[in-house]
Amino acid sequence: MNNKLENNENDNDNDNDIYNYSKIIKIKETLETGKFIESKIDMKLGEIILKVQSPMCFSFHKHLVKKICYNCFMNSNDTKNPKFNKYKVDNNKNYIIGCSGCSLIYFCSDECFEKVMSKESFQDSTSTHIHTPLECLILSVFRENQTKSPNINTLHDQTENRMIINYLSKIAYSNIGFEKFDSLVLEMNQLVGGFNQLSTKFFKKEEIENIKNKSYMLKRLFSKFFFQIGDGIIEELYAKSQRNSFGLWKNSDECFGLSMYGCQTNINNNNSNNNNEDGSNNKSIINKIDKKISVSFFNHSCFPNCVRVQENQSISFYTLIPIKKGDELTISYIDIRMSLTNRLIHLNECYYFECKCKRCTLPSSSTLSLEIENIIQNYICKNESIKCTGSLYLPPNNQTQRICNFCKWKESD
């Protein structure tokens, strides 16, 4: 075995290596597959790969905005929230502190309200959860059905529109000297996909038309408030949203919104030279983006070896099974319980690619294929009370009982 590269932070011997983030993973790139994450070591089950503290942009489904805190993502049905009882009103169980400007943003507590609405939050580089005055104005005049075509006005589309508004509203402030927002531009650039790259290869003609319509609508809306956005930028965002959006999930099998996450230093990389984690220096945060790994580098596999875990605003990735050095780290974009045919249809329709993962390509009667099915059977959620599409992983605080990433169902030992 070639162990020349072991523990060498600065190896650039291999042309495919773009960065070395840490001792455990590296980012590689090929022309056909784009960027992907490879393991540099053997990993055990329950290893944390990376964590991103908060999304670059997000939006909740409209019918749920009063039930979910815009800052901490706590939802009012979660009785474990200690703040819940204090702010519960009558039988509606709604949060009562909201933005009076747009009436679309609600909070679970004074603390969360102040964190997002105060002017100081513009300087607070640890939080990207900022409801800017521009977003407030846009949201208060935005009508969900401004587009002509009814087929681009689903619940997902409406939430996506507001997520893009959320992003553009923050970006507007980077033009006037709020450096913290500059980093969002760089993070967005890091994400895979884009309108120009994808338009001919991946998007159907109808989809391209939809993206153009939606982009035009937002461009016009923002220009009413004197924020002119260059041609193509919004199209780029919608295209990236197609490939990089994550559903936001409650502690059950219910999606409450949409988000895009960017980059984060690998949390296992405790390099003492980078002691600016507190964000005291905005400049250095921006410089650090290059050193970061984007969540969108996790490719899809119908036999994933990693899983995504949402905890309030943060998103983390854990290993689902032991991983060998040199293996690619993957997650599943879809419900892995689906049949081969359904998986292929779903991936093609929603993510515009033909799955070539081991599970989809191996002959179904082969020994390896049966082995793979057994491993999957072992890690899918066993909660019988709900139809859960989650997977069982080992959380860091409990190294003996696996829990489900969606419903938090716990395996009994």
Point out which residues bind Zn ion (CB under 5 A). Answer: 69, 71-72, 74, 99, 101-102, 105, 108, 112, 136, 302, 355, 357, 360, 381, 383, 388, 390, 404, 406-407, 409
DSSP one-letter string for 67-87: TB-TTT--BTT-TT-TTHHHH
Cα–Cα distance for residue pair 91/106, rounded to 1 Å? 17
Sheet holding 255-260, edge to edge: 57-60, 255-260, 245-249
Q: Which is nearer to Zn ion, 22 or 313 (CB)?
A: 313
The tokens describing 237, both together, are 């965002």
Cβ distance to Zn ion smaller for residue 50 or 69: 69
* Comparison of 24 and 218: residue with beta carbon closer to Zn ion: 218
Separation CA 133–CA 110 (nearest Å): 19
Six-digit token string for 94: 């709604």
CB of 303 to Zn ion, least distance (A): 7
The least distance separating Zn ion from the CB of residue 152, rounded to whole angstroms, comes to 25
**Smaller CB distance to Zn ion: residue 91 or 339?**
339
Specify the residue, 262 or 390, whose C-beta has the smaller distance to Zn ion.
Answer: 390
**Shortest distance in whole angstroms from residue 258 CB to Zn ion:** 18
Rounded least distance, CB 245 to Zn ion, Å: 20
Q: How would DSSP label each residue in 7-65? A: T-TT---STTEEEE-SSSEEEEEETTTEEEEEESS-B-TT-EEEEESS-SEEEE-GGGT
| 52/355 with CB nearer Zn ion | 355
Least distance CB 134 / Zn ion (angstroms): 10
At residue 353's C-alpha, the angle toward residues 350 and 356, to 5°, is 130
Q: By the 8 A CB rule, do 27 and 268 touch?
A: no
- Sheet of strand 34-39, all strands in order from the earlier edge strand to the far edge: 17-20, 25-30, 34-39, 328-331, 299-300
Report the largest interatomic distance among the alpha carbons of the chain, rounded to a whole angstrom. Answer: 66
Given the complex with Zn ion, which of 48 and 108 has the nearer CB atom?
A: 108
Q: Which two tokens stand for residue 191?
A: 């994400």
Q: How far is the CB of 9 from Zn ion (least distance, A)?
A: 34
Length of the chain: 413
Closest approach of Cβ 386 to Zn ion, in Å? 7
Considering the complex, state which of residue 100 and residue 200 has its C-beta at the smaller distance from Zn ion: 100
- Contact present, 197 and 104 (Cβ < 8 Å): no
Rounded to the nearest whole angstrom, what is the least distance from the CB of residue 27 to Zn ion in the complex? Answer: 22
Name which of 326, 379, 344 is nearest 41 in CA terms. Answer: 326
